[in-house]
Structure 1
Amino acid sequence: MESVDTYWSDLALLDWQVELGAVDAVGDVPVDRYALEVKQPKRQPAPAPKGPPPVARVADLDPVALARDAAEAAADLPALAAAQQAFELCELKRGARNFVFADGHAGARVMIVGEAPGRHEDREGRPFVGEAGQLLDRMLAAIGLDRGATDADRAVYITNVLPWRPPGNATPGAEDVAMMVPFLERHIALANPDLIVLMGNTPCGALLGRQGITRLRGAWAEVLGRPALPMFHPAYLLRNTIAKREAWADLLALKSRLKDPA
């Protein structure tokens, strides 16, 4: 009778422990659980990522190196224009209306490099078409040159350092200029002019590494193995008409160099 009472008493205690959450039975001898070897669960390998590989952040890219690769891969001027227009790292592109590549005859002996498109150029997609462009056309006509001509001796080929208009016609930033220089250098190589005219501070800084157009103008330099003449930008001449005297002297120097390349 006593054993039966003990059985039911032990069973009641066991049920009570189960209700409390005890699920492991206790053995006949004590166990030092601190001395037991802990088995780490096996880690499953992470699943392979699906979809395209992650895109590199803009901060991790070298825009000048990417621009140089894109420019050097262009075999001709149409390919260069397409590569430059597709270049996404220049922020000016986002605020511009049109891509402005070049105007005139690509086989001309004279290549003119300006700064950047203005409001009129951004609207029409051609360089030097506003009031400054009209003055440039008159300046060129005074020495027998015409952007509409097709013969190399009379024609001119015109481009800018930047193909997109800076907001408010502001002076282009150094970073924007740096990433466009590879395209400009390739542009000159493919157009292959005899002479280059650098109109204003920005093209002088981009291709000569120097600025200060009032000191540089009229002094022949060399760009990519070609004679280059810094001149006042026509927009500067519109604001400072007294400087037209120096501009006329530079035009005569250009005309003379075309007649006698040596």
Structure 2
Amino acid sequence: MQNTPTDQRQIEALLDFFTSAGVDCFLGDEQVDWFARTREAARVQPDQGRPGPQQVSQILPGSSAGRDGNRSQARLDPQARLDPQTQFDPRAQSAPQARAPGTGPAAVLPDGEVIAAARDLAARASSLAELQACLETFDGCNLKLTAKKLVFADGNPQARLMFVGEAPGRDEDLQGKPFVGRSGQLLDRMLAAIGLDRSSAYIANVVPWRPPGNRTPTPQETEICKPFIVRQIELVKPDVLVFLGAASAKTLLNEKDGIRKLRGRWMTYPAGGREIAAIATYHPAYLLRSPLEKRLSWRDFLAIGQKLSG
């Protein structure tokens, strides 16, 4: 039976919807609880030792145990973590561990141990290049498993002005740079309105990996990524810090108010022994949906320009 033109258009529309939502492939018709299977695989009696490749393939279908023993052990150890300084050791419990190139990370349970490891990694970075390298090898955030690229930053790290958003979207995930889609183009026009451009600003996000389907990052994902953006701000040392949207302001300023109460109000952000002038404004993506609010953001950007020239 051949598809009619109407059927073909419906199929194309459905595929376009899935692509926009972040769906890259179809894995199966039924959901699989991989955490439960991992726990089942880990419940091996001590006197029996770790299961061999054949046992692993029976418990975890599709695993690469027969091809890579280290990778199978990483899947079986729910406490495994990554550290860019060391090789993977399934017996290590204290810090994130690095796996061999090409093996790929396994999902982790977002807990206090992972957050503490993220703080330690971020604190050890003495430059933006080192911080980016830490994020490239850090596997404590499961968003890395679905994102195509790390979205670290864009602009001038020596600039006096720094913008912080919440998380990258589809265009940012494809290019590896923050605010390059429609919202980024609007941000560029807003900067131009006060005589600035990307060479006059440094742009980053609290979460450097795109959440699937552009969903909101979970509180656990935000807390895991928070130490890295905190350290990023300390290393950039801006004179003016702008939070694009309520999410980044709430995360870094520990505020509970919404963006309508936060925006346009000057605050201070402590970083590296100094206090940075900080202000929140509407996220460009919100302005695309609510163009009438652009007048308020225009006031905010005028205040930002005055602060920089003062």
Bin the TM-score by the shorter chain.
0.7 to 0.9
Greater RCO between the two (CA within 8 Å, min separation 6)?
1
Unaligned runs of 5+ in 1: 1-45, 150-154
Given the alignment, which residue of 177, 187, 202 partners 1:126?
177
The answer for the alignment partner of 1:178 in structure 2 is 223
Residue 189 of structure 1 aligns with an amino acid whose one-letter code is E
User: Which 4+ residue blocks in structure 1 deviate beyond 4 angstroms?
Assistant: 49-53, 57-61
- Is the partner of 2:232 in helix, strand or coil? helix
Residue 289 of structure 2 aligns with an amino acid whose one-letter code is R
The answer for the alignment partner of 2:269 in structure 1 is 223
Alpha-carbon separation, structure 1, partners of 2:233 and 2:140: 22
Deviates more, 1:202-211 or 1:127-136: 202-211
Residue identity (%): 48
The answer for the alignment partner of 1:54 in structure 2 is 91
Alpha-carbon separation, structure 2, partners of 1:229 and 1:61: 30
Given the alignment, which residue of 80, 94, 105 partners 2:156?
105
Alpha-carbon separation, structure 2, partners of 1:108 and 1:85: 24
The answer for the alignment partner of 2:58 in structure 1 is none
Alpha-carbon separation, structure 2, partners of 1:122 and 1:206: 22
The structural deviation recorded for 1:209 is: 1.1
Instruction: Tell me how many residue pairs correspond in the alignment.
Output: 208
1:164-175 to structure 2, matched below 5 A, reads: 164-175=209-220
* Contact 2:155-2:203 at 8 Å conserved across structures: yes
Residues 65 and 239 of structure 1: CA distance in aligned 2, closer, same or farther (over 3 Å): same
What are the superposed Cα offsets for residues 210-231 of structure 1, whole Å, 9 maximum, x if unpaired? 2411110000111122111100
Alpha-carbon separation, structure 2, partners of 1:168 and 1:61: 26
Residue 247 of structure 2 aligns with an amino acid whose one-letter code is T
Alpha-carbon separation, structure 2, partners of 1:221 and 1:180: 23
Tell whether 2:298 aligns with 1:258: no
Residues 123 and 135 of structure 1: CA distance in aligned 2, closer, same or farther (over 3 Å): same
The structural deviation recorded for 1:56 is: 3.4
- Is the partner of 2:280 in helix, strand or coil? strand
The structural deviation recorded for 1:250 is: 0.3
1:106-255 to structure 2, matched below 5 A, reads: 106-147=157-198, 149=199, 155-210=200-255, 211-224=257-270, 225-255=275-305
The structural deviation recorded for 1:82 is: 0.6
The answer for the alignment partner of 1:92 in structure 2 is 143
- Is the partner of 2:140 in helix, strand or coil? coil
Q: TM-score, normalised by structure 2?
A: 0.64
Residue 56 of structure 1 aligns with an amino acid whose one-letter code is Q
- Is the partner of 1:62 in helix, strand or coil? helix
Q: TM-score, normalised by structure 1?
A: 0.75
* Contact 2:246-2:262 at 8 Å conserved across structures: no
What are the superposed Cα offsets for residues 187-232 of structure 1, whole Å, 9 maximum, x if unpaired? 0011111110000122112111124111100001111221111000
Alpha-carbon separation, structure 2, partners of 1:87 and 1:145: 34
- Is the partner of 2:252 in helix, strand or coil? helix
Given the alignment, which residue of 131, 134, 139 partners 1:83?
134
Which structure has the larger Rg? 1
- Is the partner of 2:208 in helix, strand or coil? coil
Residue 85 of structure 1 aligns with an amino acid whose one-letter code is E
- Is the partner of 2:217 in helix, strand or coil? coil
Unaligned runs of 5+ in 2: 1-45, 51-69, 71-88, 95-107
Residues 53 and 112 of structure 1: CA distance in aligned 2, closer, same or farther (over 3 Å): closer
The answer for the alignment partner of 1:28 in structure 2 is none
